[in-house]
Amino acid sequence: MITPQELVQAGLYPDEKTVIEEAMRILWQERPQLRIDWAIHQYRTRDISLGKAAALAGVSFDRMKEVLMLHGIQPRLGPETIEEARKEIEIIEQTLTMQD
């Protein structure tokens, strides 16, 4: 297997960090289920909102809700505070901007 260091030594990348960043970007693109699994993990362990989980997974809010329920996770619906509501709006706006 080729290492990031070998790609840098060959002059194909400026540094190992750039190699790893590109590899991760391509991994997210080529393996959408990995993004979904990561979002599920984050939802379970970090107490993130459903909107944030959907943005991480690259799926719609409704689809993320379905995915969570398929994994036996009861979605936490609705923000509990005004600040949480604002954060969810911000996340949705960012997601829409990324899709353009």
Check pLDDT > 80 for residue 99.
Answer: no
Taking only the tens place, the pLDDT of each residue in 21-70 is 999 999 989 999 999 999 999 999 987 889 999 999 999 999 999 999 99
Instruction: Write down the domain spans for the chain.
Output: 1-30, 33-99
Report pLDDT for 53. Answer: 94
12-26, 49-63, 65-79, 85-99: which has the minimum mean pLDDT? 85-99
pLDDT, the chain, mean: 91
Q: Report CA torsion sign: 48, 50, 54, 55.
A: negative
Check pLDDT > 80 for residue 14.
Answer: yes
